[in-house]
Amino acid sequence: MKQTIKLLFCLICLTLFFAVSCKSTSSKSQTINESVDSKNNLITESNQIIEPKQLEKNIHSDEFNRSTTNLKNEISEDTFQEDKKAILEIIKELNIIMAKKDYESWTKYLTKSSITYWSNPSNLAMISKKLPISGYTLTSLEDYFKLIFIPARLGREVTEIRYLSKDYVRAVQVREDSDAIFYSFKKIDGKWFLKLET
């Protein structure tokens, strides 16, 4: 009888020990999960937790707002994403063209007005005064491409676009206090073309 009571007492003790251990482990597991959750999510000053997907959405929304400041309610987010993708793809192609100094391929991306303006000798003479090489005068659009266009843009990281109108966009490198403008694009018949500044 005494042995049965002892055995029963041991079983009760073991059961209580396992119950407390499991609860403790569960509590520790929850603390670890909360800790991991905190590291994966952004916690704002008001202790609001923002999940990574929500954070990414906010970043895209901020970029959309920056890009369409001049055209509120005129550009949809879908149009913005399509235009940005198309323009950044053109810039990738232009980077390859610039690296090869492929003048003929470059001209295929230009608006007709850009070709006309920068083929004019008086406009080339005017911009020649701003060259770091004194006494040299640009004589052709190809000179402009090699001595003005390429040095100002090759190797630059362009990440965002800015709408001036529905069919006129600038591609920029975002800096802390301002945007560095490297390209302007004009949409003609549904296709984006490079518009050289005049």
Residues 172 and 89 in one domain: yes
Alpha-carbon distance of 161 to 181, in angstroms, equals 9
Residues 176 and 82 in one domain: yes
Residues paired with 168 in a beta bridge: 165, 186
Residues 132 and 190 in one domain: yes
Q: How many CB atoms lie within 10 A of CB 44?
A: 9
Global pTM reads 0.69
Domain count, the chain: 2
Residues 120 and 186 in one domain: yes
Residues 16 and 94 in one domain: no
Alpha-carbon distance of 44 to 54, in angstroms, equals 13
Residues 21 and 88 in one domain: no
Residue-wise pLDDT tens digits, 90-134: 999 999 999 999 999 999 999 999 999 999 999 999 999 888 878
Residue-wise pLDDT tens digits, 156-180: 999 999 999 999 999 999 887 789 9
Residue 4 has pLDDT above 90, yes or no: no
Is residue 92 situated within a structural domain?
A: yes
Residue-wise pLDDT tens digits, 39-83: 455 555 555 554 555 444 444 678 899 899 878 789 999 999 999
Residue 186: per-residue pLDDT:
98
Residues 107 and 168 in one domain: yes
Residues 31 and 128 in one domain: no
Q: Which domain holds residue 182?
A: 78-194
Residues 85 and 179 in one domain: yes
Measure the CA angle with vertex 177, ends 56 and 164; round to 5°.
Answer: 75
Residues 143 and 90 in one domain: yes
Phi, psi of 22 (to 5 degrees): -65, -45
Residues 89 and 155 in one domain: yes
